[in-house]
Amino acid sequence: MQFSEASSYLERLEKTASRNQITEILSDLYKKCSKEEIDKITYLVLGQLAPNYKGIVLNIAEKMMFRVFSKAYKMEIGEVRKLFKVKGDLGEVALSLAKSKKDLSVVEVYERLMAISEAGGAGSQERKVVLMAELLSSLNPLSAKYVSRIPVGRLRLGFSDMTILDSLSFMLTKDKSKRKEIENAFNVSCDIGRIASLIKAKGMNGIKDITPQAGIPIRPSLCERLPSAEKILEKVGKTVYVEPKYDGFRSQIHIYEEEGKKKVAIFSRNLESTTAMFPDLVEVIEKIKVKSAIFDGEAIGYDPKNDKFLPFQETIQRKRKHGIEKAAVDFPLRLFLFDVLFLNGKSLLEVPFSERRSFLEKVDLGGTKTIEIARQVKTDNADTIRDLIKKYLSEGLEGAVIKKIDAPYKAGGRGYHWVKYKKTTVKGVADTIDCLVLGVNKGKGKRTGFGVGAFLVGIKDKDTFKSVSKIGTGLSDEQWRELDRRTRALEVKVKPTSYEVDKNLTPDVWVKPSLVVEILADEITRSPIHKAGLALRFPRLIKFRDEKGPSEVTTLEELQKLYQMQKV
């Protein structure tokens, strides 16, 4: 397929707001392309070159694109800048400047973009500019428009992985009937391009027996909430496992061989690679005596002087790059493994949890103190559950996770096979709520200095974000300043199309979908003004959830469940 043909689909996608129509257009595109093209097309329509966890990016900043345009279209850089001010979008700038009628194949465009992403070392910035300019000058205006948007990672097509899964089903059956099965395969092997290729090559047979592959993340299992120990025993099982809930970083550990070498990869809750962030963990993980494995676990900072776990905020300090080496000495990480999903070439996803746990206990962890297996108590008694929760909280842990004894590993799902019980479950709303920051109001009075005076947050309902609270209190001075700093970089002039907000709540500035905050509320109430239909009473900001993206904010369905739970 030529890129100009792909671009005409992209143009149709950009002009369509209806999700059903988007699904059909994408499925037409999928039908037309070949099995060698479909993975590349899938990444490109998502504004990427590869799944996020591979961390493959072009590394061309918006400002660098001005130099690219200047070179490609032989124009003064000042003129390009002026044009960008008027158009406000790199794609529109390219569309108005490109004049060529030339065309390249989709594969060629993809390979050239990949080559740009790989340029590294001294002088690589300049080389990237030259290569990108050459690429743009070989493309017609419409193709140049979409290729120019890839450096900033957004094609403005307004859909997510989930729409891609629908479209793959549409490609096969003209309806969404295969979506669930396709999503199950994606949960097990989270490379959407790979799933598309397998389906294009062999239909549903291509993914029928899909198994995890070390090196490709599995979508993590998540917890439900329940209001009491009694309810837990009723719903999870007469006898359950109780484990501490460690408040650190979700870490999916992959060990595998590549070209005769042992490799380790660590993935976060939202499937980004965190391998480079934890060199001290990688070192000990390499000593685990397995040929290949995928473990699920949590990494948490530990203060050896006081024999205490660190609160999440302090653990996260390690993330700030410069501190990594020193933090590794002062506050070493502990890795608690609580599940094993794949071992020495075999998938364990379908194996009951009790058996997976036995496999986990038999693994030779290499005699290190850094890695431990999560503590676990088997009980059928509500008082024991309550006592354990109290004990864990007093140790500085976040609460407990109560697990169903014989459940398979539920990749990519929340369910009653795992139930979390935190301090907040005891009183008021059973859990904190992860919200997306939709907009901010500038500070008045005392808060002028902080920049932000209030902010609007929302929860997720399918592909939209519905407002649920306007927060004007409950933040420390430091948190207000941080909110200002973070939102300034994300301000946009027009309301993002995925936001649903009542006119009367329009903030001073909109914030593009990116920043996720964890909010604790005293109560969830019905609301005529918030589009979620529910609102949060006395909201407080607990933390900025850097490890979560917009697709992981609390859903309307979850919020409704939390609302119902208050009445129990």
Question: Which residues, numbered 426-455, are part of the site for ligand ATP (CB under 6 A)?
Answer: 432
Residue 269 in contact with ligand ATP, rule: CB under 6 A: yes
Q: How far is the CB of 241 from ligand ATP (least distance, A)?
A: 9
Residue 222 in contact with ligand ATP, rule: CB under 6 A: yes
Q: How far is the CB of 272 from ligand ATP (least distance, A)?
A: 14
Q: Which is nearer to ligand ATP, 420 or 470 (CB)?
A: 420
Q: Which stretch binds ligand ATP (CB under 6 A): 24-32, 137-145, 241-249, 354-362?
A: 241-249
Residue 466 in contact with ligand ATP, rule: CB under 6 A: no
Q: What is the DSSP letter of 219?
A: P
Single residue of 146, 338, 342, 409 touching ligand ATP by CB under 6 A: 338
Q: Rounded distance, CA 42 to CA 39, Å?
A: 5
Q: Which stretch binds ligand ATP (CB under 6 A): 57-65, 194-202, 239-247, 477-485?
A: 239-247
Burial of 413 (0-12, 13-18, 19+ CB in 10 A): middle
Residue 71 in contact with ligand ATP, rule: CB under 6 A: no
Q: Which is nearer to ligand ATP, 124 or 239 (CB)?
A: 239
Query: In this structure, what is the dihedral angle of CA atoms 47, 263, 322, 543, given to the nearest 10 degrees?
Result: 60
Q: How far is the CB of 28 from ligand ATP (least distance, A)?
A: 36
Tell me the residue type at 562: L
Q: Which is nearer to ligand ATP, 222 or 377 (CB)?
A: 222
The answer to whether the beta carbons of residues 128 and 59 sit under 8 Å apart is yes
Q: How far is the CB of 374 from ligand ATP (least distance, A)?
A: 5
Residue 357 in contact with ligand ATP, rule: CB under 6 A: no
Q: Which stretch binds ligand ATP (CB under 6 A): 69-77, 163-171, 217-225, 279-287?
A: 217-225
Q: How many CA atoms lie within 13 A of 2 on its CB side?
A: 12
Question: Which is nearest to 462 in space by CA: 556, 347, 385?
Answer: 556
Burial of 472 (0-12, 13-18, 19+ CB in 10 A): middle
Report the 10 Å Cβ neighbour count for 192: 22
Single residue of 374, 535, 559, 565 touching ligand ATP by CB under 6 A: 374
Q: How far is the CB of 508 from ligand ATP (least distance, A)?
A: 29
Q: Which is nearer to ligand ATP, 338 or 499 (CB)?
A: 338
Beta strands at 333-343 and 371-373: parallel, antiparallel or unpaired: parallel
Q: Which is nearer to ligand ATP, 507 or 513 (CB)?
A: 513
Single residue of 30, 159, 170, 246 touching ligand ATP by CB under 6 A: 246
Q: Which stretch binds ligand ATP (CB under 6 A): 146-154, 245-253, 346-354, 487-495?
A: 245-253
Q: How far is the CB of 406 from ligand ATP (least distance, A)?
A: 16
Question: Which is nearest to 416 in space by CA: 564, 546, 226?
Answer: 226
Is 35 assigned a catalytic role? no
Tokens of 12: 């149709």
Single residue of 29, 98, 401, 475 touching ligand ATP by CB under 6 A: 401
Q: Rounded distance, CA 513 to CA 438, Å?
A: 7
Q: Which is nearer to ligand ATP, 24 or 224 (CB)?
A: 224
Residue 377 in contact with ligand ATP, rule: CB under 6 A: no
Q: Which is nearer to ligand ATP, 213 or 424 (CB)?
A: 424
Q: What is the DSSP letter of 156?
A: S
Residues 6+ apart with CB under 8 A from 465: 436, 438, 458, 459, 498, 499, 500, 513, 550, 553
Q: Which is nearer to ligand ATP, 28 or 552 (CB)?
A: 552
Residue 223 in contact with ligand ATP, rule: CB under 6 A: yes
Tell me the residue type at 464: T
Residue 245 in contact with ligand ATP, rule: CB under 6 A: yes
Q: Give the H or E element holding residue 35.
A: none
Q: How far is the CB of 178 from ligand ATP (least distance, A)?
A: 27
Q: Which is nearer to ligand ATP, 110 or 302 (CB)?
A: 302
Q: Which residue is catalytic, options 128, 145, 178, 245?
A: 245
Q: How far is the CB of 517 from ligand ATP (least distance, A)?
A: 11
Q: Which stretch binds ligand ATP (CB under 6 A): 107-115, 206-214, 218-226, 444-452?
A: 218-226
Start-to-end CA distance of the chain, whole Å, equals 58
Question: Which residues, numbered 109-168, are part of the site for ligand ATP (CB under 6 A)?
Answer: none
Tokens of 8: 């005409």
* Number of amino acids touching ligand ATP (CB under 6 A): 14
> What would the DSSP string read from start to end of 268-326?
-TTS-B-GGG-HHHHHHHTTS--SSEEEEEEEEEEETTTTEEPPHHHHHHTTSGGGHHH
Q: Which is nearer to ligand ATP, 292 or 432 (CB)?
A: 432
Q: How far is the CB of 99 from ligand ATP (least distance, A)?
A: 50
Residues 6+ apart with CB under 8 A from 439: 455, 456, 501, 506, 507, 508, 509, 510, 511
Q: Rounded distance, CA 255 to CA 251, Å?
A: 13
Single residue of 24, 166, 183, 243 touching ligand ATP by CB under 6 A: 243
Query: In this structure, what is the dihedral angle of CA atoms 373, 52, 248, 559, given to the nearest 10 degrees?
Result: -110
Residue 331 in contact with ligand ATP, rule: CB under 6 A: no
Q: How far is the CB of 311 from ligand ATP (least distance, A)?
A: 13
3-state helix/strand/coil string of 431-497: CCEEEEEEEEEECCHHHHHHCEEEEEEEEEECCEEEEEEEECCCCCHHHHHHHHHHHHCCEECCCCC
Question: Which is nearest to 514 in space by CA: 442, 452, 437?
Answer: 437
List contacts with ligand ATP (CB under 6 A).
220, 222-223, 243, 245-246, 250, 269, 298, 338, 374, 401, 420, 432
As annotated, the active-site residues are 245
